[in-house]
Every structure is written in C-alpha cells, then in structure tokens.
Amino acid sequence: MRLLVVEDEPDLRSALRRGLAREGYAVDEAADGIEAVSRASFVRYDIVVLDLNLPGLDGVEVCRQVRDREDPPLVLMLTARDAIENRIEGLDAGADDYLVKPFDFGELTARLRALTRRETPGRVELLQVGTLSLDPATRDVEIDGEQIELTAKEWSLLNYLMRNAGRVVSQEELLEHVWDDQVDPFTNTVRVQVGTLRRKVGRERIETVIGAGYRLRDPDAVPSASG
C-alpha cells in the first residue's frame, strides 16, 4: 500500500511517516496542498492522509483534485477538533473518512485498515492462495494453519502479490505500491526482498517471469485445460 501523508506541521508529518512505515506502508510526504497534488499526479497512491487546514491549497481543494481522476486514491481527511462543518465539507469533497485531531495513532491505522477493506467490496477479508493465507486485519500469515513471521516490508510485498495472485507484477509496479520515493529505482531491493520472502513462504509460490516480474501462485493448483 502506497500512502501520501499531507500535513504542514513538520513534527506530525514525520511522526506519521515513521509510524506508518513501521506498519509496513510505503509512505511519501507532502508539506502543502500544491506539493500533494503534484505528487499525486505522478504516483498512483492507494490512500492519501490529508490534513484539512493547509497553506496554499486547502485539504478540500486537494481532495477534489486528487479524486477527480481515473482510479483515484482513497482519502482520509484529518480535521481540527469540533470543526463539524469542515468535516461535512471534507466528506462532500469526496473524502472516504475523516479523523478528528488530536487522534490516537492506533485509531488512524484502524481507519486505514477499514478503508482498504471497503476498497475491495464483496471480497472475503482473508486473502487465501492455496494453503497460504494472509489476514489484513490481524496481519497473520499462515501456511497450512502454521503461522510464519515476516518483516513489515515482506508482509507488504506478500499482501500486494496475494491481492494480485496469478497475475505477473513487474518490479516497477512493486516499487510504486510497496516502496516509497526514498528508494533508488535502480536498486536490487525488490529482488532481495522477494528472495527473503520466498525462503519464508516457499520458493514454489513466487515465480519469476524473466523480463516481466513476479507471479504469486498456488503450487498445488491443477493447471486448467485452457492453460
């Protein structure tokens, strides 16, 4: 999950970035509305955590602009306490949820998880590919009912691959959705993380498609007649 945190207060902004990165999100920052709109025009964010009161372009306008495109990100608006009319304005502008400041960090991560569950309606919450399962709510990963331990980054990588199971996912796509803008695009970090993840979930589950990327599959699935 790639997130953009838009907040003009530097301490809060970097605290959010660090905290969310520890939760396994790939997090970029924007200090004002103009920067937010500009970043969101280059990167397809999954979620934008957006402060309402920003210098220059305010949160409502940023929300309108980032939502007014194909495949828009989800928007979680941060509003000042008691600003009920702001909240309504924010939701009118297309925000998917809002959180009143000051908020508890655990509350923020709970809202983010709820939002991403809402994003995939009709889908069972537990991701399952063969005997491998991942629970986005509890973050548990199991093989044959046996829990396995992953780092935050490995978990994010597996989460993305499982959501796209059966499809070849390119290194560029993984860099865009699982890593933040601090990563060197020429790095071998994707290859390295796929390698460590493979050792934990079983090599046969993550296939390398030469020149294209990686595909998560069920090694026990019977190939269909249609291929």
| List of residues contacting Ca ion (CB under 5 A) | 8, 51, 53
Q: How many beta carbons lie within 10 A of that of residue 199, not counting itself? A: 10
In this complex, which beta carbon is closest to Ca ion, that of residue 56 or of residue 202?
56
In this complex, which beta carbon is closest to Ca ion, that of residue 51 or of residue 154?
51
In contact, 6 and 28? CB cutoff 8 Å: no
Both structure tokens of 36: 């937010």
In this complex, which beta carbon is closest to Ca ion, that of residue 53 or of residue 189?
53
In the complex, the smallest distance separating the C-beta of residue 157 from Ca ion, rounded to whole angstroms, is 33
In the complex, the smallest distance separating the C-beta of residue 202 from Ca ion, rounded to whole angstroms, is 46
d(CA 40, CA 122): 27
In the complex, the smallest distance separating the C-beta of residue 96 from Ca ion, rounded to whole angstroms, is 19
In the complex, the smallest distance separating the C-beta of residue 90 from Ca ion, rounded to whole angstroms, is 13
Q: Within the chain, how many helices (H) and strands (E) appear?
A: 8, 11
d(CA 59, CA 56): 10
In contact, 189 and 156? CB cutoff 8 Å: no
In this complex, which beta carbon is closest to Ca ion, that of residue 8 or of residue 142?
8
In this complex, which beta carbon is closest to Ca ion, that of residue 85 or of residue 146?
85
Query: Look-up: residue for tokens 């902004």?
Result: 13
In the complex, the smallest distance separating the C-beta of residue 57 from Ca ion, rounded to whole angstroms, is 12
Alpha-helical (H) ranges within 126-204 are 152-163, 171-178, 189-201
In this complex, which beta carbon is closest to Ca ion, that of residue 11 or of residue 68?
11
Both structure tokens of 2: 């790639």
d(CA 75, CA 93): 10
The torsion angle over the Cα atoms of residues 165, 195, 171 and 226, rounded to 10 degrees, is -30
In the complex, the smallest distance separating the C-beta of residue 30 from Ca ion, rounded to whole angstroms, is 12
